[in-house]
């Protein structure tokens, strides 16, 4: 549905990505984990760690391609060709270095951040507006002051992490919030977290873990955001960091028609 909507709006906006090279994945994940995942999928897959975390034969190559799209989006944005959106599945923000979680196999946002740093974009800000806490992203960057991570998420909710007291090395900004608040409140609180993260930190690259399970009507989340709120957030980020290339990576979102509307609003604000 998302692809159809993008083609309908602007077919020239779409590019197919190639799978991520192994080297880019190994900046974040141990080789043994990547070998295990590939072999597990090729054997036919099954439930991986969690009962609803189902892997099939195509899952590893889908994850490699998702990470490849994240890399391509970073290269595009960092070469000055404009901001980019990686419309990818599976998502990545729950994946730990050696553990798949929450439908996530590879940590796309961190893989993207490391690619940016390889391209000389030393300081990276990752903003996560998925309704779930980006525990994988946090775990992979919380000891690294070159990356700051801001996450707005419903609390309590899967995966159970993301308390405000989790600060990493002072580079983690968690905003746990209850469901059902007015959307303007979520936007204002996330912007407050972003402003805190930007104090004394000028990012060379902006990454958004763009989950649309934070929309009103998503079956897994209780937040109330509408498409225009994502556009507002992108606009606010652009005005705060006008020189930084921006890349959004699709995370969760479990009502396909809502995801399509949310992504299109984000895209229009981004490009
Ligand atoms: Zn989510």
Answer yes or no: are the C-beta atoms of 78 and 121 closer than 8 Å.
Answer: yes
Residue 94 Cα to ligand 1 middle (Å): 9
64 φ, ψ to 5°? -60, -40
pLDDT score, position 271: 87
Neighbours of 99 (CB within 10 A): 15
Residue 132 annotated in active site: no
pTM of the complete model: 0.98
What is d(CA 185, CA 204) in angstroms, rounded to the nearest whole number?
Answer: 28
- Cα-to-centroid distance, 115 and ligand 1 (Å): 24
**Dihedral sign, Cα of residue 12, residue 13, residue 16, residue 21:** positive
For each of the chain's 271 residues, which pLDDT tens digit applies?
A: 899 998 998 888 899 999 999 999 999 999 999 999 999 999 999 999 999 999 999 999 999 999 999 999 999 999 999 999 999 999 999 999 999 999 999 999 999 999 999 999 999 999 999 999 999 999 999 999 999 999 999 999 999 999 999 999 999 999 999 999 999 999 999 999 999 999 999 999 999 999 999 999 999 999 999 999 999 999 999 999 999 999 999 999 999 999 999 999 999 999 8
* Catalytic member of 83, 93, 94, 132: 94
Ligand 1 centroid – CA 253 distance (Å):
6
Burial of 47 (0-12, 13-18, 19+ CB in 10 A): exposed
DSSP 246: E
159 Cα: distance to centroid of ligand 1 (angstroms): 10
């Amino acid at each position: 549905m998302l692809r159809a909507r993008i083609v309908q709006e602007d077919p020239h906006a779409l590019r197919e990505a190639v799978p991520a090279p192994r080297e880019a994945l190994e900046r974040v994940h141990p080789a043994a984990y990547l070998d295990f995942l590939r072999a597990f999928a090729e054997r036919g897959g099954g439930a991986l760690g969690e009962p609803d975390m189902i892997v099939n034969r195509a899952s590893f190559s889908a994850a490699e391609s998702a990470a490849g799209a994240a890399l391509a989006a970073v290269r595009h944005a960092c070469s000055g060709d404009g901001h980019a959106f990686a419309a990818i599945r599976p998502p990545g923000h729950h994946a730990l270095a050696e553990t798949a979680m929450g439908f996530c196999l590879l940590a796309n946002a961190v893989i993207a951040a490391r690619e940016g740093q390889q391209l000389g974009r030393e300081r990276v800000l990752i903003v996560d507006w998925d309704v779930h806490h980006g525990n994988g992203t946090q775990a992979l960057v919380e000891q690294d002051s070159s990356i700051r991570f801001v996450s707005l998420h419903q609390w309590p909710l899967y995966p159970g992490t993301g308390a405000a007291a989790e600060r990493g090395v002072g580079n983690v900004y968690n905003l746990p919030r209850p469901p059902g608040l007015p959307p303007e409140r979520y936007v204002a609180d996330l912007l407050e977290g972003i402003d805190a993260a930007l104090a004394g930190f000028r990012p060379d690259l902006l990454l958004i873990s763009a989950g649309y399970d934070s929309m009103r009507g998503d079956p897994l989340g209780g937040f109330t955001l509408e498409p225009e709120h994502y556009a507002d957030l992108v606009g606010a980020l652009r005005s705060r960091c006008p020189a930084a290339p921006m890349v959004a990576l699709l995370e969760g979102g479990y009502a396909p028609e809502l995801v399509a509307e949310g992504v299109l609003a984000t895209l229009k604000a981004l490009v």
